[in-house]
Amino acid sequence: MIAAHDFYENRFAKFWIADGILFFEYKPSTLIDLKVAQLVVTDRIHFQRERAYPILCDLRGVVSIDKASRDYLAQLGSVLATAVGFVVHEKLLLTISTFYLQVNKPSVPTQIFSSEAAALQYLKGVVISK
């Protein structure tokens, strides 16, 4: 995975950095299994060039995620993340995300939002408090 540092895209997600925040957006109709979770985390870490960021993770394209993936993302998905704001829009994603936070307990501060603006406000607070 070598790409221009401003933006990167693979089969499942795209990400970019703006104003000190890493934006991570899953593509529409994404099914997350362990291989997909491992690929997107590996690509994200390489993209970040060993620098930690607060991450806005847009889950609106996700249609399903299995337990192995949730476990993996809760542990290694937080590498080089200072905080995470999940953006969801459907009741199912809200339920899955809430379950993820309660059961998998991510290692960095993580909250769920129904709008990108609310998630950005949360993450900008993290950037300012550094």
What pLDDT does residue 93 have? 64
User: Is there a contact between 36 and 67 (Cβ–Cβ < 8 Å)?
Assistant: no
25-45 pLDDT, tens digit per residue, is: 999 999 999 999 999 999 999
77-103 pLDDT, tens digit per residue, is: 889 999 999 898 866 566 777 777 677
Q: Report the number of distinct structural domains present in the chain.
A: 1
Contacts (Cβ under 8 Å, ≥6 apart) of 116: 56, 58, 87
In the chain, how long is the greatest CA-to-CA distance? Answer: 36
Indicate whether 1 belongs to any domain. no
Containing structural domain, residue 37: 6-110
Which CATH number belongs to the domain containing residue 75 in this structure? Answer: 3.30.750.24
